[in-house]
Structure 1
Amino acid sequence: MNVASRRVQRIYLTLMLGNTLAASFIWGINTLFLLDAGLTNFEAFAANAFFTAGMVIFEIPTGVVADTVGRKVSYLLGTITLSVTTALYWMLWVWQAPFVWWAIVSVLLGLGYTFFSGAVEAWLVDALAFTKYTGSLEAVFGRGLVVTGIAMFVGSVLGGVIAQVSNLGVPFVVRAAVLVAMFVFAFVVMKDLGFTADRSAGPLKATRAVLSESIEHGLKRRSVRYMILSAPFAAGVGFYAFYALQPYLLELYGDPSAYSVAGLAAAALSLAQIAGGVLASRVRALFARRTTMVIVASVASVIVLVLLGVNSIFWLAVVLLVLWGFVFAVAGPVRQAYLNDMIPSKQRATVLSFDSLFGSLGGVFIQPALGRAADLGGYGTSLVIGGLVQLIGVPFLWASRRQRDPADARTATSQAAGPDFDVV
């Protein structure tokens, strides 16, 4: 690997480290935070649904920003937006605000995340192409998972401990401060390599042009389309399960105020993510096709969720949680590499935003529905239902596999060559 490619990867890994560290301060206690603010289970997951609705609303416009103005600009807008809205979340908790304000601020939180989604990944792939990187994308994304897993472990443990010794609001203040630090770092070191912003057209015309080309190379390409259509089921259930496991594990533990236990559970998930990131490329080598591995991982995730739902033993639930995280972590880099190998550089951020948008759509509808199921039948029942919902996405993965796209069998990507653009 040459020096320039190594520097690009270092910057990418630092961005992932900072973003995840900031986010993970609240991952272990977010649902507990919302319930402590006076929301019901349904309202807490409805607030999460409004967050994902914000991602749906703003996903494409912010993806166009990344593809027409620049990936760096998009990232900077994301950090400052998330910092401000995180501070607003803390203020709503202090004020014990009514649900309508949680809904509004949650939508704005979604706006912040959409500036990230697609932009950082597109920046990485374009910069690696520019610096003549010829290794596998799975390896790079796998390193990203290891780094984010470490950050998640540290942030989750610290967030739970901080909440335990102070209160549930302090981790949100810490998160806002870390995001400000990441803004400064990215402003200084991040450069759009291999990408030139096109500002010749007006914003509306540029938006139409990018969207049209993105649909051509995204949704009209069957192998990409079916992969994107599978996203709502896995992502929607994944959003819910991650946050529902916080109060569920405390329920199994027998102490609803043991916030540090919730943090440690999220930390255990981060260790699974680290292991998955390290082993992703090795596990990938066991399968002839990328889609085969993703399908196997999806089915395994369904089985684990059902087992989590019917289990009543705390330590076994933690083991199943780690297994669930490992399955997701192993499949994630492979799915990312598969999509990136099928998308041209100019439309990469927007098409990836389409994928994120469909995942967010699943969160909008699935999270409150499963939250309501938890109110009526308990968290265990909701997790079993969630596993069955995720199973609906498997036929779409199989349909993508049936297209036999060249990217499906690719193990190492020459970034200089780029993906194959023929529409299947």
Structure 2
Amino acid sequence: MTPGARSVVRTYLVLVSGNTLATSLIWGINTLFLLDAGLSNLEAFAANAFFTAGMVLFEIPTGVVADARGRRTSFLLGTVVLAASTFAYYLLWAAHGPFWLWALVSVVIGLGYTFFSGATEAWLVDALVDAGYTGTLEAVFGRAQVVSGVAMLVGAVGGGLLAQATSLGVPFVVRVSALLLMGLVAAARMHDRGFHPDRSVPPARAVRGILAASLRHGLGAAPVRWLMLAAPFASGVGIYAFYAMQPFLLDLYGDEGAYTVAGLAAAILAGAQTVGGLLAPRLRGLVRRRTSAVVLGVIGSAAALAALGFTSSFALALGLLVVWGLVEAAAMPVRRAYLNDLIPSDQRATVLSFDSLMANLGGIGIQPALGRVADLRGYGPSYVVGAAVQLLAVPFLLLSRRERHPADLAARRTAMEA
């Protein structure tokens, strides 16, 4: 690896780990936080659905910002918006605000995340090309998943312990400070390389041009289209499963005030994510095609969720949670590498944002629907239903595989060099 590429990877890992640490401070207690504010299960997961709706609404516009005005600009905007909306969440919790305000602020939080979703990954891939990197993307994404998992472990456990020692609101305030700190780091270290936005083009024309090209290289490209159409089913269920894990484990544990147990769920997933990141290159080596690894990941994830739905043992649930996290984490870097190899540089951030949009579309309907199942039948049955929904992603992944694009076999970049 060249010194320039090493510097790019190092900066990317710092940004990923720092942002994950900041945001994960509330991941282990978020659902409990919403319920403590007076929301029902339906309202809590509806608030999460509004967050997802915000991501859907703003994914493409913020992806265009990244492609038209620069990935660093997009990242910094995301830091400010997410910090401000997180503090608004804290104020709503303190005041037991009405649901419509929770919905509104959740949309703004979704906006904050969309500034990161395509920009950070697009910045990495283009900067690596500029620095002469010749390795595989799976290796970099796997390392990022490892450091992200460690950061998530520290953040989730720390957030749970902090909530246990103080209140459910304090981790949100700490998260605001951590996000602003990461903004300062990005301002100093994150500079666009290998990508030069044309700021001489009027914004409206730039938006139209980028959107048209992104649709051509996104939904207009068959292997990308099928990969994106699979995302709502796999990701929508995954979002619900993660947030429902907090009250589900507390039910099995028998103590609704044991916030450290809720943090333990996120911590276990963080550890699984770390190991899964290390396993990703090995998983890729076991199969000939990248799509095979992704399909196996979806099937394994659905099987683990279904098993969780039938268990009444706290210890067994923790074990199945580890399995679910490992399977999801090992397949994710392979999917990301496959997608990046399918799309060209100039539209990378927008197409990646569009992929995130498709994933979040599933969350809008699936989260409140499964939350309603949990209200009526319990968390276990909601996981069984979620497993069935997740399997609907498999036919679309097989259609992407049928296109036999070189990126499905690639050990190195293809479209990113075009």
TM-score by length of 1: 0.98
Partner Cα separation in structure 2 for residue 212 and residue 419 of structure 1: 21
Partner Cα separation in structure 1 for residue 417 and residue 301 of structure 2: 30
User: Within 5 A, what are the aligned runs for 1:12-411?
Assistant: 12-411=12-411
Letter in 2 for 1:187: A
Aligned residues of 2:340 and 2:416 also touching (Cα < 8 A): no
Partner Cα separation in structure 1 for residue 147 and residue 321 of structure 2: 20
Residues matched between the structures, number: 418
Partner Cα separation in structure 1 for residue 200 and residue 323 of structure 2: 50
Task: Find the residue that maps to 2:168 and give its secondary structure.
Answer: coil
Task: Find the residue that maps to 1:17 and give its secondary structure.
Answer: helix
Greater displacement, 401-410 / 202-211:
202-211
Letter in 2 for 1:255: D
Partner Cα separation in structure 2 for residue 360 and residue 290 of structure 1: 23
Partner Cα separation in structure 2 for residue 173 and residue 379 of structure 1: 29
Partner Cα separation in structure 2 for residue 373 and residue 419 of structure 1: 47
Which segments of 5 or more consecutive residues in structure 1 lack a partner in the other structure? none
Partner Cα separation in structure 2 for residue 111 and residue 282 of structure 1: 35
Partner Cα separation in structure 2 for residue 322 and residue 418 of structure 1: 34
* CA deviation vs aligned residue, 1:213-271 (integer Å, no higher than 9, x gap): 01111111100000000000111101100000100000000101000011112101111
Partner Cα separation in structure 1 for residue 262 and residue 205 of structure 2: 48
* CA deviation vs aligned residue, 1:58-116 (integer Å, no higher than 9, x gap): 11000000000000000000001000000000000000001000000000000000000
Aligned residues of 2:237 and 2:387 also touching (Cα < 8 A): yes
Partner Cα separation in structure 2 for residue 330 and residue 309 of structure 1: 22
Task: Find the residue that maps to 1:346 and give its secondary structure.
Answer: coil
Partner Cα separation in structure 2 for residue 283 and residue 390 of structure 1: 21
**Paired-residue identity, %:** 61
The list of structure 1 runs, each at least 4 consecutive aligned residues, that deviate by more than 3 angstroms after superposition, is: 417-420
Letter in 1 for 2:198: D
Partner Cα separation in structure 2 for residue 318 and residue 329 of structure 1: 16
**1:392 positional shift:** 0.8
Aligned residues of 1:249 and 1:262 also touching (Cα < 8 A): yes
- C-alpha RMSD of matched pairs (Å): 0.9
Task: Find the residue that maps to 1:345 and give its secondary structure.
Answer: coil
**1:419 positional shift:** 4.9
Partner Cα separation in structure 1 for residue 302 and residue 279 of structure 2: 21
Aligned twin of 1:418? 416
Letter in 2 for 1:177: S
Partner Cα separation in structure 1 for residue 251 and residue 340 of structure 2: 41
Which segments of 5 or more consecutive residues in structure 2 lack a partner in the other structure? none
**1:200 positional shift:** 2.0
Partner Cα separation in structure 1 for residue 413 and residue 51 of structure 2: 35
Aligned residues of 1:142 and 1:277 also touching (Cα < 8 A): yes
Partner Cα separation in structure 2 for residue 183 and residue 87 of structure 1: 16
Aligned residues of 1:63 and 1:119 also touching (Cα < 8 A): yes
Aligned residues of 1:24 and 1:152 also touching (Cα < 8 A): yes
Letter in 1 for 2:416: G
* CA deviation vs aligned residue, 1:277-335 (integer Å, no higher than 9, x gap): 01110111000000001001101111110000111100110111111111111001000
Partner Cα separation in structure 2 for residue 419 and residue 299 of structure 1: 32
TM-score by length of 2: 0.99
Partner Cα separation in structure 1 for residue 144 and residue 308 of structure 2: 27
1:6 aligns with 2:6: yes
**1:201 positional shift:** 1.9
